[in-house]
Amino acid sequence: MIQFSTHRLKNGLTLIHHHVANTSMVAVNLLYDVGSSDENSAKTGLAHLMEHLMFSGTKHVAKFDEMLQQAGGDSNAWTSIDVTNYYDILPSQNLETALWLESERLLNLNLTEENIEVQKSVVIEEFKQRYLNQPYGDVLHLTHGQAFTVHPYRWPTIGLDVDTIKGFTRDDITSFHNRFYNVSNAVMCISGNVDFDTAVTLVEKWFGDIEGTIMQPRQLPDEPVQDAPRFMTQHSDVPNNMIFRTYHMCDRAGDCYQATDLVSDILGNGMSSRFYQQLILATDMFADIDASVLGSRDPGLFYVRARLADGVDFDVANKAIDSVLRRLIDEGATQHEIDKCVNKYLSNKLFENVGYAEKAVSLCNHQLLWGASGINTEKDRYKAITPRDIAEVASTLFNSSNCSTIYYGPDA
pLDDT in tens, 230-276: 999 999 999 999 999 999 999 999 999 999 999 999 999 999 999 99
CA proximity to 145, closest of 160, 155, 136:
155
pLDDT for the residue numbered 250 = 97
For residue 213, pLDDT over 90 is answered with no
Q: Which pLDDT tens digit goes with each residue over 298-337?
A: 999 999 999 999 999 999 999 999 999 999 999 899 999 9
- For 61-109, the three-class secondary structure string (H helix, E strand, C coil) is CCCHHHHHHHCCCEEEEEECCCCEEEEEEEEHHHHHHHHHHHHHHHHCE
To the nearest whole percent, how much of the chain has pLDDT over 70?
A: 100
Task: Say if residue 190's pLDDT is above 90.
Answer: yes
Residue 351: pLDDT band (50, 70, 90) is confident
Q: Which residues contact 137 (CB under 8 A, 6 or more apart)?
A: 130, 131
Same topology for domains 5-207 and 230-409, yes or no? Answer: yes
Q: What is the pLDDT of residues 97-116, one digit of tens each?
A: 999 999 999 999 999 999 99
pLDDT given for residue 19 in this prediction: 97
Per-domain residue ranges of the chain:
5-207, 230-409
E strands within 265-410?
A: 286-293, 301-308, 403-409
Query: What's the distance, CA 107 to chain centroid?
Result: 26
What superfamily would CATH give domain 230-409? Answer: Metalloenzyme, LuxS/M16 peptidase-like (3.30.830.10)
CATH 3.90.1150.10 fits 5-207, yes or no: no
Give the Cα separation of 124 and 122 in Å (integer). 6
For residue 131, the model assigns a pLDDT of 95
The mean predicted confidence, pLDDT, of the chain is 96
Q: Are 341 and 262 in contact (CB under 8 A)?
A: yes
Note the pLDDT tens digit of each residue in 126-169.
999 999 999 999 999 999 999 999 999 999 999 999 999 999 99
pLDDT value at position 216? 86
Higher-confidence residue of 134 and 353: namely 134
Angle 268-274-280 from CA coordinates, rounded to 5°: 85
Contact 259, 390 (CB under 8 A): yes
The C-alpha atoms of residue 213 and residue 107 are separated, in whole angstroms, by: 13
pTM of the model: 0.95
From residue 143, how far is each of 147, 210, 301 by CA, in Å?
6, 41, 10
- Torsion sign, CA atoms 344, 295, 131, 123: negative
